[in-house]
Amino acid sequence: MNCMFWILYGLPVVHPDSTLVVTINGIGLALELIYLKIVAIGLLGEVAFLGVIAVITFVVFHNTTTRTLFVGIICDIFNIIMYASPLSIWHKVIKTKSVEYMPFFLSLANFANGAVWTAYGLIKFDKFIVVSNGLGTVLGAIQLIIYGCYYKSTPKKGSGDVIKPNEVQLSGATIA
C-alpha cells in the first residue's frame, strides 16, 4: 500500500519531476507482488492438499467412524508438527544459554493453546483432540521451563556484555 501511494504521489499529474519516486516504489511494488505470488502459490498448494484429503475421506470411507479415524489421525499429525516446531530453537537456547530467539509470549500462547484444547477434548472425550493437544501442552510446558532456566543468563541489550561497533573480538579472546 505504501509503495502504491508513493507511485501515485510521484505521477507527473500529481507531483512533476518525481521519476525516482515512481521508479523506486515501482520496483518495491513489483517485489511485493512477487512475494505475494509465492505466498499465494503456497496457499493454493495447501488448499489442493486439503481437497485431496477431503475427496479421499468421502470416496474411500463410508461411515463417520472410519472418516473420524482417517481425518483425526491427519489432524493429530499436523497438530503435533505445529507444537513440535519450536524444538529446533530449544537446541539453540540450551547451547547459547540465551532465550533471545525464543519469545516468551509465543511460548506462553503455545502452552495455553494446548492446555485449553486438551481441556475441551477431555470434556468432549475426543481422543484425537486430547492426544495432540496434550502433547502440545507438555511441549509448551517444557518450552516455558527452558525459558525460565535460561532467562537470567541471556545478555540484556545495553549491558556491558555487548560488543560495540568499534571493538573487535577474536575467537577465544575477551572484548578488546
- CA dist list (Å): 49 to 33, 44, 65, 84, 109: 24, 9, 22, 21, 27
**Looking at residues 148-167, what average pLDDT do you find?**
63
Provide the pLDDT confidence category of residue 27 given band limits of 50, 70 and 90.
very high
Q: Where in the sequence of the chain do the CATH 1.20.1280.290 domains occur? A: 62-155
Question: 104-124 vs 127-150: helix axis angle to the nearest 10?
Answer: 150
Q: How far, in whole angstroms, is CA 10 from its chain's centroid?
A: 36
* More confident of the two residues 170 and 111: 111
Q: Pick from 70, 95, 97, 86: which is nearest to 135 by CA?
A: 86
Is the domain spanning 62-155 CATH 1.20.1280.290? The answer is yes
pTM of the shown model: 0.69
* More confident of the two residues 32 and 85: 32
Residue 172 has φ and ψ, to the nearest 5°, of: 80, -5
Cα separation, 176 vs 157, whole angstroms: 19
Q: Is pLDDT at 175 greater than 90 in this prediction?
A: no
Q: What is the pLDDT of residue 170?
A: 53
Q: Radius of gyration (Cα) for the chain, nearest Å?
A: 25
% pLDDT > 70, the chain: 87
Contact status, residue 145 vs residue 108, Cβ threshold 8 Å: no
Other C-beta atoms within 10 Å of 147: how many?
18
Q: What is the pLDDT of residue 44?
A: 97
Q: What is the pLDDT of residue 123?
A: 95
DSSP conformation class of 142: H
Could you report the per-residue pLDDT of 52-100, keeping only the tens digit for each? 999 999 999 999 999 999 999 999 999 999 998 888 887 788 888 778 7
Long-range CB contacts (< 8 A, 24+ apart) of 154-157? 154/97, 154/98, 154/99, 154/100, 155/98, 155/100
Q: What is the pLDDT of residue 54?
A: 97
